[in-house]
Structure 1
Amino acid sequence: MIVAGFGFRKSATLASLRSALERATQGNFAPAALATLDHKAPQLDPLAQQLRLPLIAIPSDRLTGQTTLTCSPVSLAAHHTGSVAEAAALAAAGYHARLLAPRAVSQDRLATCALAEGNPI
Structure 2
Amino acid sequence: MKIAGIGFRSGATIGSVLDAMERAGATGLRRLAVPAAKRDDPLISELIAQGFEVTPIPCETLARIATPTQSRISLHVYGTGSVAEACALAAGANSRLLVVRVVSADRMATAALAETGENS
TM-score (norm: length of structure 1):
0.87
SS in 1 for 2:86: helix
2:69–2:101 CA contact under 8 A, matched in 1: yes
CA displacement at 1:14 relative to structure 2 = 1.3
Distance 1:105 1:58 in 2: 20
- Structure 1 residues 26 and 35: CA distance shift in structure 2, 3 A: closer
Distance 1:83 1:25 in 2: 18
Q: Which string of whole-angstrom CA distances, capped at 9 and with x for unpartnered residues, describes residues 79-120 of structure 1?
A: 10000000001111x121011011110010010000111135
Q: Which runs of 5+ in 1 are unaligned?
A: none
Q: More displaced, 111-120 or 78-87? A: 111-120
- Per the alignment, residue 10 of structure 2 pairs with 10
Q: Which runs of 5+ in 2 are unaligned?
A: none
Identity %, equivalent residues: 44
SS in 1 for 2:12: coil
TM-score (norm: length of structure 2):
0.87
Q: Which runs of 4+ in 1 moved over 6 A?
A: none
Q: Identify, as 1 or 2, the structure richer in helix.
A: 1
AA aligned to 1:101 is: V
- Per the alignment, residue 71 of structure 1 pairs with 70
CA displacement at 1:26 relative to structure 2 = 6.1
Which residue of 32, 35, 38 corresponds with 2:33?
A: 35
Distance 1:33 1:88 in 2: 12
Distance 2:116 2:106 in 1: 29
